[in-house]
């Protein structure tokens, strides 16, 4: 089972694979949670969406805690 540091590293690496589509300026860790039911890590990262106004974009990564595979990434609205 992967620990939280490994899960965060997996989320950052996954986001880096889409650097042409996702703004990756100033990546910041916002939240971590281990879902007891599914066994997935839920890692929330934010990046600067608009540097002029400083708005951030939030994404939640669902990561299998046994394999380290990112199962999904969802844009989070309303933080």
pTM for this model (two decimals): 0.85
Average predicted confidence (pLDDT) for the chain: 88
Cβ atoms of 31 and 14 within 8 Å: the answer is no
Q: Which pLDDT tens digit goes with each residue over 44-71?
A: 999 887 778 878 889 999 999 999 999 9
Residue 60 has what DSSP assignment? E
Neighbours of 14 (CB within 10 A): 19
Distance between CA atoms of 33 and 51, rounded to whole angstroms?
28
pLDDT score of 79 more than 70:
no
- 29 versus 18: the higher-pLDDT residue is 29
Fold of 4-76: Nuclear Transport Factor 2; Chain: A, (3.10.450)
pLDDT on residue 23? 61
In SS3 terms, 34-76 reads as ECCCCCEEEEEEEEEEECCCCEEEEEEEEEECCCCCEEEEEEE
């Amino acid at each position: 089972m992967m620990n939280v540091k490994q899960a965060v590293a997996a989320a950052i690496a996954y986001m880096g694979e889409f650097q042409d589509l996702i703004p990756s300026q100033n990546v910041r860790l916002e939240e971590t949670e281990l879902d007891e039911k599914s066994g997935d890590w839920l890692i929330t990262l934010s990046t600067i969406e608009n540097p002029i106004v400083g708005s951030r974009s939030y994404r939640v990564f669902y990561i299998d805690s046994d394999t380290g595979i990112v199962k999904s990434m969802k844009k989070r609205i309303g933080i």
